[in-house]
Structure 1
Amino acid sequence: MADNEYDGLTYKMVYSSKTGRKGNTYSPFMFDFNFGIKNLHSVGYLEQPKRGQDIVLTDLGRNDDLKSYPTDEQQKAIDTYWDQKKAERIARSKTKDDPSEDVVMTDSTDKEDTDNLSWKAELLACLMAFDPAKFESFSRLLISKMGVVIDKERGIVRSGDHGIDGFGYFTSDEFRTSRVAIQCKRYTEGAVSEPEIDKFKGAMDGFNAEYGIFVTTSHFTEQAKKKATQGSNTVTLIDGQELADLVEKYQLHITPIVTYALDDYYYQFK
C-alpha cells in the first residue's frame, strides 16, 4: 500500500505512529485497517480473517456492487457487530471506561499488531537519534549478521573517505564470493532520492563492488528504486520498516518477550 500509494496513501501515513494520552504508542493506519477488515467481514464480503494467512474474499465480496456500500442493511450489520464487541469488552474489563487504553482495541490480535508496530517505531526513533558513526556501526553489524564478512581495513577505517560506509564480502551457496559496498543514511524526514543512489553507485565503482546495500531509517523514492536496479552494479535497498524487520529476524540487541493471547473462543460465552 505504501509503495504503490494506493488511494493517496504515503509511506509516512501507513507507517507513522502516535502517542496516546497515557503514553502508549499506536498506529492510526493499523487501527483503520483492522476496523475496515472487520467491517467487511461483518457484511459477508470476507471469510473469517485468520492471523498470518491471506485475507480471502467471499463470492459476495467478489461480485457485489460496491457503489452503494454500505447499504442501510449493511450498516445495521456493522453496528450490530461493534455493539457485540463492545459488550464483550465491557464484560471482560467489568467497566464501561477501560483506563488502560486510549483507543479501542477490538481483540487480542489488534493489540498484538499495535504492540509489534510500537516497538519498531521506538526502534526507529532510537536509530534516528544515533550519531552518524554509531548508525554506520549498527548497519555494519546488522549486515554482518546477514552473511556479509566486513573487511575491517577497507570497510571501516577508510570508508569515510571514499563515499561508502562499509565494505565486505559475501559468499553464496555456490561458493561465489562477491564484493559488497554499504551505504547508510540516517534520515528523520524525507526519502532517499535518485541522486543519492547514483552517487553511491559511483563510489561502488572505486571498490569494484559487484553489488551494494543501501540502508536508511526513512524510505526510497520510486526513481531511487528504479536507479538501484539499473546497470551491472545493482543496489539492495533497506528502508526503515525492513530495517526493523531485520533487527527482529536476527535478534540484534533486542530481548524477546514470550506471551500468549486468548483467541475469540474464550470470549464466546455460549
Structure 2
Amino acid sequence: MPIPDYQTLMAPVLALLADGQELRLQEVRDRLAPALGISEEERQERINSGTPRFDNRVHWAVTYLYQAGLLQRPRRGVIQITDRGSEVLKANPERVDNEVLNRFEDFRAFKSRTRPGRSTPAPTEAEGQSTPQEKISSAIEEANEAVAAEVLERVQQADFVFLERLVLRVLAAMGYGGPTGSIRHLGGPGDGGVDGVIRQDPLGLDEIYVQAKRFATHRTIGRPEIQAFVGALHGAQADRGIFVTTSSFTADATDYADRVNARVVLIDGAALARLMVQHNIGVQDQERYVLKRVDEDFFEEL
C-alpha cells in the first residue's frame, strides 16, 4: 500500500500510544508499520536524500504532535501521549492533522517561528505560490526550529554545570575568545555572580563576563536578576556581560539591560537553542541538498 503522508499518520501514532505507555521512536515505527499493512519492502523505500520514507513521515508526525502538546518526552529518547493528546484522539479518532493541531497556541507559535513576520501559518493554498527554492528554504527553517525546540528541552533537563559549560562552548563557536584570547569557566561557590569569563586578548584587557541560569520555560528572568549581574560586573571592574537563560526575560529586564551603563546582552532559551543549531553544538548535519540552476554563461560561450 502507498505509505501514508505524515498527517495521516498522526491519528495512528496517538492510537498506538493511547494506553499511556512510553515508547522509543523506533518502537513506534516498528509497531505502526505492520498495523497499517506496510510491508518490509515498502519500509525500505527511500526519499532522494536516502532516508526511509516511512521513517521520515513518522518522525514528522511525532514532531508536530509534540509541538502541539499532544505528545511529551518524559525521559530521554521516549515519547508518551499527554492528556491533551488523549482528548484530541477521542474527539478525532479517524483523523488528526494540521488543521486540528492549529487549534492549539503551542502549535501556532511553533509554526509562526518558522515564518518570520506571521503570527499564524500561511494558508495551505498559498503554498502553491511559493517557488521550489522558497519551499526548500521554508522546510529547512521548519526542520531546524523543531530541532531547536528539542535541543532546548534537553538542555533544561541537564544540570546547571552542563549549561554553564555549554554556553561557553557556544560563545567559543561564535568566535568569542579569538585565536589569541581564552574562555574560562568560573561557576561554583564563590564565583562572584559570574559563571565564566572571555578574554578577547592575551593580556585580559578586553574581558566579557558570562552568567547562565537554568529555569523551566514558564519561569522568567526579571529585572532583579539582571541588576545582580550588573553588580557582579561592577565588582569585577568589567563593563560587558552576557546573561543566558533557558527560559525568557521580562520586558522590565530587557528594558533595564538596554539602559544600564554596562553593555549587557541577553540571550533567552529560544535564542540559545537556535545558536546551538546554527553552530552545530549538540546537533549534527543529517542530510545535504544541492539546488541546481542553469549556467547562463555556459550557453553564451558555445
Which TM class, normalised by the smaller chain length? 0.5 to 0.7
Task: Report the Cα distance in structure 1 between the residues aligned to 2:131 and 2:205, rounded to whole angstroms.
Answer: 42
Normalising to structure 2: TM-score of the pair?
A: 0.51
Partner of 1:38: 123
Partner of 2:208: 180
Task: Report the Cα distance in structure 1 between the residues aligned to 2:144 and 2:183, rounded to whole angstroms.
Answer: 34
Deviates more, 1:26-35 or 1:224-233: 26-35
Superposed displacement of residue 50, structure 1: 5.6
Partner of 1:82: none
Aligned-residue sequence identity (percent) comes to 24
C-alpha distance 121-51 of structure 1, shift in aligned 2 (>3 A) = farther
Query: Are 1:255 and 2:284 counterparts?
Result: yes
Partner of 1:28: 108
Superposed displacement of residue 202, structure 1: 0.1
Partner of 2:200: 170
C-alpha distance 160-151 of structure 1, shift in aligned 2 (>3 A) = farther
Q: Partner letter of residue 154 of structure 2?
A: C
Question: Is the Cα–Cα contact under 8 Å of residues 186 and 194 in structure 2 kept in the other structure?
Answer: no
C-alpha distance 34-212 of structure 1, shift in aligned 2 (>3 A) = closer
Task: Report the Cα distance in structure 2 between the residues aligned to 1:198 and 1:144, rounded to whole angstroms.
Answer: 26
Task: Report the Cα distance in structure 2 between the residues aligned to 1:36 and 1:254, rounded to whole angstroms.
Answer: 26
Superposed displacement of residue 20, structure 1: 4.5
Question: Is the Cα–Cα contact under 8 Å of residues 156 and 167 in structure 1 kept in the other structure?
Answer: yes
Task: Report the Cα distance in structure 1 between the residues aligned to 2:132 and 2:254, rounded to whole angstroms.
Answer: 31
Normalising to structure 1: TM-score of the pair?
A: 0.56
Q: Work out which of the residue numbers 112, 129, 140 in structure 1 matches 2:157.
A: 129
CA RMSD of aligned residues (A): 3.8
Q: Partner letter of residue 141 of structure 1?
A: R
Question: Is the Cα–Cα contact under 8 Å of residues 191 and 221 in structure 1 kept in the other structure?
Answer: yes
Cα offsets for 1:189-241 (capped at 9, x unmatched): 22111111000000011111120000111111111111112232121111112
Q: Partner letter of residue 127 of structure 1?
A: V
Partner of 1:196: 225
Superposed displacement of residue 166, structure 1: 0.8
Question: Is the Cα–Cα contact under 8 Å of residues 201 and 233 in structure 1 kept in the other structure?
Answer: yes
SS of match in other structure, 2:206: strand
C-alpha distance 34-109 of structure 1, shift in aligned 2 (>3 A) = farther
Q: Partner letter of residue 164 of structure 2?
A: E
Structure 2: which 5+ residue stretches go unaligned? 1-65, 73-78, 81-100, 113-117, 292-302
Partner of 2:18: none
Q: What are the residue-to-residue correspondences of 1:203-222 with 2, within 5 Å? A: 203-222=232-251
Moved over 6 A (4+): 107-110
Partner of 2:171: 143
Q: Partner letter of residue 156 of structure 1?
A: L
C-alpha distance 50-205 of structure 1, shift in aligned 2 (>3 A) = farther
Partner of 1:116: 144
C-alpha distance 215-114 of structure 1, shift in aligned 2 (>3 A) = same
C-alpha distance 110-151 of structure 1, shift in aligned 2 (>3 A) = closer
Superposed displacement of residue 161, structure 1: 2.9
Superposed displacement of residue 108, structure 1: 6.9
Cα offsets for 1:45-78 (capped at 9, x unmatched): xx9456887xxxxxxxxxxxxxxxxxxxxxxxxx
Question: Is the Cα–Cα contact under 8 Å of residues 151 and 282 in structure 2 kept in the other structure?
Answer: no
Question: Is the Cα–Cα contact under 8 Å of residues 164 and 181 in structure 1 kept in the other structure?
Answer: yes
Structure 1: which 5+ residue stretches go unaligned? 1-15, 54-106, 263-270
Q: Work out which of the residue numbers 258, 264, 281 in structure 2 matches 1:235.
A: 264
SS of match in other structure, 1:203: helix
Number of residue equivalences: 185
